[in-house]
Chain A
Amino acid sequence: MTGLEESRDMERVSPVTVVLHCLLAVSIFFLFISSWWMLSLPLPSEVFTYRELPFQLHKNIGLTVFLFAVVMITTALSRKRQSKPGARTKLERLTSFDHLIIYILIFACCITGYLSSSYSGWQTQVWWLFNLPSWTNENDKLNILFSDVHIWTCWSLLAVISVHISAAIFHAAKNDGIINKMFRL
């Protein structure tokens, strides 16, 4: 393998990352759109159970997104360790920063959502297979706190994702080959 081929091989994103990136994108947008709708459903009671399915689905997709993000960041870090150190351009540093912020916000959204759910007193069934162990009692104040943090981190995530998509469109319009790396299995 020549040096150039080796460097191209290093530049290529692994197929696992490409697939996870796509699944993550679809899941995140579904979570946004469904959450705006499900919060307009009647508040839960013994009679009104409209929120049960959408909320369980929301929590399960959130948990799955968390796992996808863990795999993706692990892969990204191992690639970074293998890559040869070199001078990076301002744009490359900015891109790394954007990716880092996205990962941080994804983890923050998932963790605050989980904490809010834990303090709400409602059980979480993992894909309708088993219940997540309950480790705390119902606490309205903490539920509201984590729920608010969850909402604001998610709005921030949406803003950063908009920048991310804009950057993808920018590179595609320039046709500089950067976008091609992310869309090749």
Chain B
Amino acid sequence: MPRPYNSSTMTVNSFHKNNDELANSHSTSMTDNKVFNLPLSGVLIVVFAILYFATQANELLRQVVIAPGSVAEQISEADCRADELVEENLSLAECQLMVSSVQITLASSPSWFRSFQISSATLACIAAMLSFLIGFKLIGSATLSAKLARFSFSSLALIDILQFLAVLNTGPLLRAQYLWPLLIWLAIHISFLIIFLALNSSGGHEKEMT
């Protein structure tokens, strides 16, 4: 039986069902394009949340490790021992450029950039965890706060926009590293945000997955 859509919650039926019901649900899903596949959205949200968390946690680590005033700012000469080059399967040129790579990050980062990245990456990790829980709830339980989902994806999109604007105000070397991945994440988060906004605006739209 169709249930009226509530702006703050989306309902999914219990997944405990017999085979006849399952067969029926498949035909409904395929023929009725108004049915929103909550488990599929949930799984995609969970997968993206895990990848986003890992990306932002790595950014946090990167900012902690490459600190202004560190040794690469004073010393350009890399220590490239022959045995280490063999171990790492590196050429001498590559080994020397590794120091340059750190110098690029240090030289192209304005003074405010590191503290901004540390704060925004921390917030991004928290927002990723929230979106993970939302995806988890979409798959596994009966109700989900649509408001919470909208808040979560708005936060993620806002963090992406702020990080994008911050990187725009750095030099071309950092822009080349950051802008494209940030744009992809922004596209992903805005897509999910629009889905939840569309569900909310469609009033009596049926969300029931049988």
Q: Which of B95-150 contact A (CB under 8 A)?
A: 95, 98-99, 101-102, 132, 136, 139-141
Residues in B neighbouring A172, C-beta threshold 8 A: 37, 39-40, 42-44, 139
Q: Which of A48-74 contact B (CB under 8 A)?
A: 48-50, 53-54, 57
Interface residues on B, range: 35 or more
Count the A-B residue pairs with Cβ separation under 8 angstroms: how many?
Answer: 126
Residues in A neighbouring B101, C-beta threshold 8 A: 40-41
Residues in A neighbouring B46, C-beta threshold 8 A: 183
Name the contact of B99 in the complex, choosing from A26, A48, A57, A169 (C-beta under 8 A): A48
For the complex, what is the distance from the CA of A49 to the CA of B42, rounded to whole Å?
41
Contacts A43-B78, A43-B95, A180-B140 given; indicate if A174 touches B50 (C-beta within 8 A): no
Within the complex, the shortest CB–CB distance from A9 to chain B, in Å, comes to: 11
Residues in B neighbouring A168, C-beta threshold 8 A: 43, 47
Within the complex, the shortest CB–CB distance from B127 to chain A, in Å, comes to: 14
Name the contact of A177 in the complex, choosing from B17, B53, B72 (C-beta under 8 A): B17
Residues in A neighbouring B16, C-beta threshold 8 A: 8, 177
Name the contact of A29 in the complex, choosing from B29, B42, B54 (C-beta under 8 A): B54
Residue positions of B touching A, CB distance < 8 A? 15-17, 22, 25-26, 29, 37, 39-40, 42-44, 46-47, 50-51, 53-55, 57-58, 61-62, 64-66, 70-72, 75, 78-81, 83-88, 90, 95, 98-99, 101-102, 132, 136, 139-141, 209
21 contacts between A and B (CB under 8 A): A8-B16, A25-B50, A29-B51, A34-B54, A37-B61, A40-B98, A42-B78, A43-B84, A43-B90, A44-B84, A46-B79, A48-B99, A54-B65, A140-B83, A143-B87, A169-B40, A175-B40, A180-B15, A180-B39, A183-B139, A184-B141
The 10 closest A-B pairs by CB, nearest first: A45-B79, A183-B140, A29-B54, A183-B139, A177-B15, A184-B140, A172-B43, A180-B15, A172-B39, A30-B54
